Amino acid sequence: MTLTINAHDFITAAPRAMRTECGGLTPAEFFTRFCEQPGGIRLGDWSRRDSAYTATLEFGDRLRTVVSAGSPVAALTSALYEEGYPVEILQFHQRKTGAGIATFVQCECNGRRGWGAALAADGPESTVRAMLSGINSFS
């Protein structure tokens, strides 16, 4: 599901450290830099049934399905580590907006850092999408 939000409201919801880093960017430049980053890891399918989450990740031409009965973030972090991406979340901020849940994460992997941002209908999906954007920003 794709949600839309006023770009100014989305940037305003970002944490101070991220707003400082992106000062002067237009809303379009902000989205290009921090949201839905193209890269080596893509989120294919995403689904939720009761309290279980299923995500299909695309690593180039390989697919990997991750199922989590608990925290999808922990499951994603584990799957990424097994695929050679030892990800650490340095900063995590999540805000409820009128259009959904906005998530902003600063990730580090192999000594490189990057911010990712996403908007989705629920917190877990927003978090997974933001994490992948952050990782793809430096991979």
What is the distance between the alpha carbons of residues 32 and 45, in angstroms, rounded to a whole number?
Answer: 22
Report, as an integer, the average pLDDT of 77-101. Answer: 88
Residue 16 lies in a domain: yes
Model confidence at 103, pLDDT cuts 50, 70, 90, reads very high
Q: Which domain covers residue 103, as residue numbers?
A: 7-136
- CATH number at 65 reads 3.30.160.270
Model confidence at 111, pLDDT cuts 50, 70, 90, reads very high
Q: Would you say how long the chain is, in residues? A: 139
| Residues sharing a CB contact under 8 Å with residue 47, sequence separation 6 or more, in sequence order | 53, 54
Going along 7-125, which residue ranges are E strands? 41-49, 52-59, 62-68, 87-97, 100-109, 112-120
What is the distance between the alpha carbons of residues 54 and 123, in angstroms, rounded to a whole number?
Answer: 14
pLDDT for residue 5:
52
pLDDT for residue 18:
84
Would you tell me how many other CB atoms lie within 10 Å of the CB of residue 19? 15
Residue 1 lies in a domain: no
Report, as an integer, the average pLDDT of 102-112. Answer: 92
